Amino acid sequence: MENKLTKLKTLFLSNLYVSAFTFGGGMVIVTFMKKKMVDQLHLIDQEEMLDIIAISQTSPGVIAVNASILLGWRIAGFVGMLVSVFATILPPMTIILIISKFYEAFINNIYISTMLKGMQAGVTAVLMDVTISLLSNVYKQKNPLHLFIMAVCFIANFLYNVNLVYLISFGILVGIISEYIKLKAGKQ
């Protein structure tokens, strides 16, 4: 029981910290979740985090909440999921309540708008860091199919602005075909 309570406390404090001190949207929060849960606390491994990120992005809803649902469930079951989600939504809800109360004071404040513009540069750096980290993990696996899918999706999106829904569908289709071929080859 103590181990479960320790996990719940760790989940709550980690998600609260990540959610309270990150600005810039879901992928930034997911990046910090990865650093906290994988790199610092070692609650899950890199592969599981990649799966959580992929599922979070393709599921309807807020990416950070989707990721906290999956992380909480994976680490401490149903109660872990509830604790994780509550900790993730608490800081933004508090900030929204404060801003809505003092909206008039915030709307034209030069210091706040300057601060937010400065945060945009930091968000870009954080996203680059996680992208490089995740890419290096894919590259280390040396799976030609994964590298092919990654290259095709990057080129299609970056050069031809192909919709992400099509790229995700392409990746799923290639993965299904690949696994089917492996199963067929294994049975013979």
Cα angle: 115, vertex 35, 157; to 5 degrees: 75
- Residue 68 clears pLDDT 90, i.e. is over it: yes
Note the pLDDT tens digit of each residue in 22-60: 876 777 787 888 888 999 999 999 889 888 988 888 888
Higher-confidence residue of 124 and 160: namely 160
Q: How many helices (DSSP H) and strands (DSSP E) are in the chain? A: 8, 0
d(C-alpha 14, C-alpha 73), whole Å: 15
Q: Residue 134's pLDDT band (boundaries 50, 70, 90)?
A: confident
* Cβ proximity of 18 and 89 under 8 Å: no
Which sequence spans correspond to the domains of the chain?
Answer: 4-106, 109-140, 143-187
| CA-closest candidate to residue 22, choices 123, 132, 129 | 123
